[in-house]
Amino acid sequence: MTTERTDTGLEIETALGEVLAHVRGETALPCRIVDDPTAERIVALRKRMKLSRIRFADRFGLDARAVQDWEQGRRVPDRAARVLLTVIDRDPEAVMRALAPPVD
């Protein structure tokens, strides 16, 4: 065992200090809030892209049944799906590029 402080150890120590300062109310940590999209917003997004539910799901790697449930208000997308829907809304081409098969 060594008593020398490593870079990783120093990073962890700094991060824990930030957490403690946040818990004590001394500082605010950055965060991103992703809104829960309403069923209407999800339908509007899909229709704006002129895609059927199945084609929308296929194009963006989503489960068609989940899309249906979101659009009908039976389920709310989880955090990862909300982030993906946000990116699809703002830059659908970026998602399609990311999901495209790699070019050799």
Q: What is the full DSSP assignment across the chain?
A: ---PPPHHHHHHHHHHHHHHHHHTTS------------HHHHHHHHHHTT--HHHHHHHHT--HHHHHHHHTTS----HHHHHHHHHHHH-HHHHHHHHSPPP-
Instruction: Give me the pLDDT at residue 104, please.
Output: 73
Instruction: Give me the pLDDT at residue 76, please.
Output: 93
CA 47 from chain centre, in angstroms, equals 21
What is the phi-psi region of residue 50: left when phi exceeds 0, alpha when psi lies from -120 to 50, beta otherwise? Answer: left
Pair 85, 77: CB distance under 8 Å: yes
Instruction: Give me the pLDDT at residue 68, please.
Output: 98
pTM above 0.75, yes or no: no
Grouped pLDDT means (10 residues each) for the chain, 104 residues = 80 89 86 80 96 97 97 94 94 93 81
Instruction: Give me the pLDDT at residue 1, please.
Output: 64
